[in-house]
Structure 1
Amino acid sequence: MQAIEISQPGGPEVLKLVDRPMPEPAHDQVVIKVAYAGVNRPDALQRAGLYNPPKGASDLPGLEAAGDVVGVGAGVTSPKLGDRVCALLPGGGYAEYVATPAAHCLPIPSGLSLAQAACLPETFFTVWSNVFMRGGLQAGQRFLVHGGSSGIGTTAIQLAKVFGARVFATAGSEEKCAACVTLGAEAAINYRTQDFVEKMKALGGADLILDMVGGPYIQRNLKSLADEGTLVQIAFLQGSKAELNLVQLMTRRLTVTGSTLRPQSDLAKTRIADALRAQVWPIINAGKVGPVMDQEFTLADAATAHARMETSAHIGKIVLKVGS
């Protein structure tokens, strides 16, 4: 099969098209013939040598895909051969075939193309587990998501809105802010010209903040929270270290938490998949939320797709067209 390999740590140019053996399904796994693969920030971190795959995972990048099940391992009852699925992957999505736990596969929602379906797993698993399962977002609460025009951001805005929260977002241009409002944000804050801390304080503070920026945002996020608010950290685009006065966590009863998805156990990911299947997939099937797509590239053009992502000019998800 053809696949995209990281030839050495570096920039997008280190992504090379190679031939690899097809994967075989292990116990409880399926093999998917990949039609489309999603492109995500962790792929770029892995390419740069900053995010190693977990033990036993493919060294190829790619954490989500959509396509047809063409191989079924022992112990698998669903999905079946020939089923069309989208799936969260431990790695290996930038290839014509990929193996993944069967329990991490979800059906293609009605009305969505394979390209659209490939945009779902990584962002929906991440947002649901962090905003709702970990962060406990409730209807009526004020929710702030940074990077509102990203794949994570566009998903978080829609889900928080449909479950009744008051949604606010930050983004880096007026075009991106407008996109956030169109998706359901009550207000979008251009972080280049406005201070999100003052904006949120004027509203009474955020009950929950989802952040992937880190660095100087960490202190600013704590200032933006309402009393008893929660900060959920999922990435650190500007660094993972900050000096904090923990007295404000105590006196204002704040919570700081977070997670990364890829290193979690198969069982933990299965529980997220089960929750999505029960609580979110019906909403997608009803057309109330869905993926926001930016651009599509061929598998051979993976380097160009990474370069596009790293400009941060995109709105929504970037995908690779892998198979017919």
Structure 2
Amino acid sequence: MSAHPAHGPLPETMTAISITMPGGPEVLVPGPRPVPTPAPGEVLVQVEAAGVNRPDVMQRKGYYPPPPGASDIPGLEIAGTIVALGANVTSHAVGDRVCALVTGGGYAQYCTAPVETLLPIPDGLSAAEAAALPETLFTVWSNVFERGGLKAGEWLLVHGGSSGIGTTAIQLAKAFGAHVAVTAGSAEKCEACLKLGADLAVNYREKDFVAEVKSVTGGKGADVILDMIGGPYIQKNYEAAAMDGRIVQIAFQMGSKAEVDFMRIMMKRLTHTGSTLRSRPVAQKAELAAAITRHVWPLIAEGRFRPVMDHSYPLADAAAAHARMDSSTHIGKIVLTMM
């Protein structure tokens, strides 16, 4: 289908990051690629910034291939300006400033996105900050508030509190009236989480998070646990959870296999669930986009939520951005910028 381009013809090629083979950050190499054409129901965005996320790292290592039909270029969230419309697009116009959740293709100067996952760039946020929103917000909203059902007055435990996911979960949970405990791997990271509003930050290298969470909740435990670690944390989460607690799994940084005593699921009436985001149908992502626009965008306007930014790198330095994520020294979001 023909697209409707902006001012003058679009270039035929662009700079994008390719994964030359599974491996370390050095396999991320910039080079020319054809500018994609938006399909019906899609727009073409001239990308100004793209978020860097753990799934990109997993794809780089060869563990997380793109779903059928998705671009092999890494990158799941972008911000920029719409420069062309696919057929049947009436909800947006060329020139609109948007951020978007995409199934791939973000590490590039141009990227297509389905209209259902487009969000307006909030006033007062830079393109880099806007690019730090979609993947993280979709993940936190769907897992903490929808699957986990977090309510005001409840306790949320977030593992990896200083990550992009963690810093988002802290702010949103507090904005909606919940209490927040986090785990993190250094005093600096714990301090950053407390400054964001966490009620408890446990350095897991020094203290037992189960005991600390039990103590701060008066022996009750956490009502919702957001876990990206897995492995030995699975059993510990069952111990740290409150009666009728909900544990939501979103990654397995320490492995997806563990020896676990499931008796606590029965005794505490626990729910252990989980999800991935990338392969979900567009219709589900559209529902999430609508919920985020309704619930989170007003918080941004009021200054009650803002993405925590760690570092920006030029697109050509994607390898350096991944090296920083691999080091786990970052606090908040890492982004690539095209300007």
Instruction: Tell me by how many angstroms 1:244 deviates.
Output: 2.1
- The yes-or-no answer on 1:191 pairing with 2:204 is yes
**Residue of structure 1 aligned with 2:238, choices 206, 209, 222:** 222
Task: Give distance in 2, aligned partners of 1:235 and 1:162.
Answer: 25
Q: Is the 8 A contact 1:79 1:105 kept in 2?
A: no
Instruction: Tell me by how many angstroms 1:78 deviates.
Output: 2.0
**Residue of structure 2 aligned with 1:99, choices 109, 112, 122:** 112
Instruction: Tell me by how many angstroms 1:285 deviates.
Output: 1.5
**Residue of structure 2 aligned with 1:85, choices 98, 111, 116:** 98
Instruction: Tell me by how many angstroms 1:245 deviates.
Output: 2.2
- The yes-or-no answer on 1:16 pairing with 2:32 is no
Task: Give distance in 1, aligned partners of 2:37 and 2:203.
Answer: 47
Instruction: Tell me by how many angstroms 1:75 deviates.
Output: 1.9
Q: Is the 8 A contact 1:38 1:63 kept in 2?
A: yes
Question: Match of 2:266?
Answer: 250
Task: Give distance in 1, aligned partners of 2:263 and 2:158.
Answer: 25
Question: Match of 1:208?
Answer: 224
Q: Which runs of 5+ in 2 are unaligned?
A: 1-13
Task: Give distance in 1, aligned partners of 2:236 and 2:262.
Answer: 14
User: What residue identity is the alignment partner of 2:177?
Assistant: G
Question: Match of 1:136?
Answer: 149
Percent of pairs identical after alignment? 61
Question: Match of 1:164?
Answer: 177
Question: Match of 2:295?
Answer: 279
User: What residue identity is the alignment partner of 1:77?
Assistant: T
Task: Give distance in 2, aligned partners of 1:108 and 1:285.
Answer: 11
Question: Match of 2:53?
Answer: 40
Q: Is the 8 A contact 1:61 1:91 kept in 2?
A: yes
How many residues matched? 323
Structure 2 residue matching 1:20: 3-state secondary structure:
strand
Task: Give distance in 2, aligned partners of 1:143 and 1:130.
Answer: 12
Question: Match of 2:323?
Answer: 307
Structure 2 length-normalised TM: 0.94
User: What residue identity is the alignment partner of 2:121?
Assistant: I
Question: Match of 2:284?
Answer: 268
Structure 1 length-normalised TM: 0.99
Task: Give distance in 2, aligned partners of 1:56 and 1:284.
Answer: 33
CA deviation string 1:121-152 (max 9, x = no partner): 01000000000011100000011101000000
Instruction: Tell me by how many angstroms 1:200 deviates.
Output: 1.4
Question: Match of 2:8?
Answer: none
Instruction: Tell me by how many angstroms 1:27 deviates.
Output: 1.1
Task: Give distance in 2, aligned partners of 1:36 and 1:57.
Answer: 19
**Residue of structure 1 aligned with 2:307, choices 270, 291, 313:** 291
CA deviation string 1:22-78 (max 9, x = no partner): 000101101100000000010010000000101100000000010000111112122
Question: Match of 1:240?
Answer: 256
Task: Give distance in 1, aligned partners of 2:22 and 2:91.
Answer: 37
**Residue of structure 1 aligned with 2:139, choices 126, 139, 142:** 126
User: What residue identity is the alignment partner of 1:159?
Assistant: L
Q: CA RMSD in A?
A: 0.7
Q: Is the 8 A contact 1:32 1:69 kept in 2?
A: yes
Instruction: Tell me by how many angstroms 1:251 deviates.
Output: 1.9
